[in-house]
Structure 1
Amino acid sequence: MGAMAEKMTDAQWRKFVSYGTRTGKLSTVRADGSPHVAPIWFVLDGDELVFNTGKNTVKGRNLTRDGRVALCVDDDRPPFSFVVVQGSARVSEDLDEIRHWATRIGARYMGEDRAEEFGARNGVPGELLVRVAIDRVLAERDVAD
Structure 2
Amino acid sequence: MTTITSGRVRSFLDEGGRTGKVGYLGADGRPLVVPVWFAVDGDRIVFNTAADSAKGTAIARDPRLTMCVDEQSGRTFVQVQGTAETTAEHGEVLRVATAVAARYVAEGKVERVAGKIAGPGQLAVSLRPTRVVTSGDLSEQDS
TM-score band, normalised by shorter chain: 0.7 to 0.9
Aligned equivalent of 1:83 = 78
Aligned equivalent of 1:27 = 23
> How many pairs were matched up?
136
State how 1:55-74 maps to structure 2 within 5 Å.
55-74=51-70
Deviation at 1:142, TM superposition (A): 5.0
Q: 1:98 aligns with which of 93, 108, 118?
A: 93
Show structure 1 runs of 4+ deviating over 3 A: none
Q: Confirm or deny: 8 A CA contact 1:86 1:134 kept in the other structure.
A: yes
1:123 paired to 2:118: yes
Identity of aligned residues (%): 38
Opposite residue 80 of structure 2, the aligned amino acid is V
Aligned equivalent of 2:130 = 135
Q: Partners in 1 of 2:99 and 2:13 — Cα distance?
A: 15
Q: Partners in 2 of 1:114 and 1:141 — Cα distance?
A: 34
Aligned equivalent of 1:15 = 11
Q: Partners in 2 of 1:123 and 1:32 — Cα distance?
A: 29
Instruction: Identify the range of structure 1 (120-129 vs 134-143) with the bigger mean alpha-carbon deviation.
Output: 134-143
Deviation at 1:84, TM superposition (A): 0.6
Alpha-carbon RMSD: 2.0
Q: Partners in 1 of 2:96 and 2:8 — Cα distance?
A: 23
- Paired residue secondary structure (1:120): helix
Aligned equivalent of 2:38 = 42
Q: Partners in 2 of 1:83 and 1:98 — Cα distance?
A: 25
TM-score (norm 1): 0.87
**Structure 2: gaps (5+ residues):** 139-143
Deviation at 1:90, TM superposition (A): 0.9
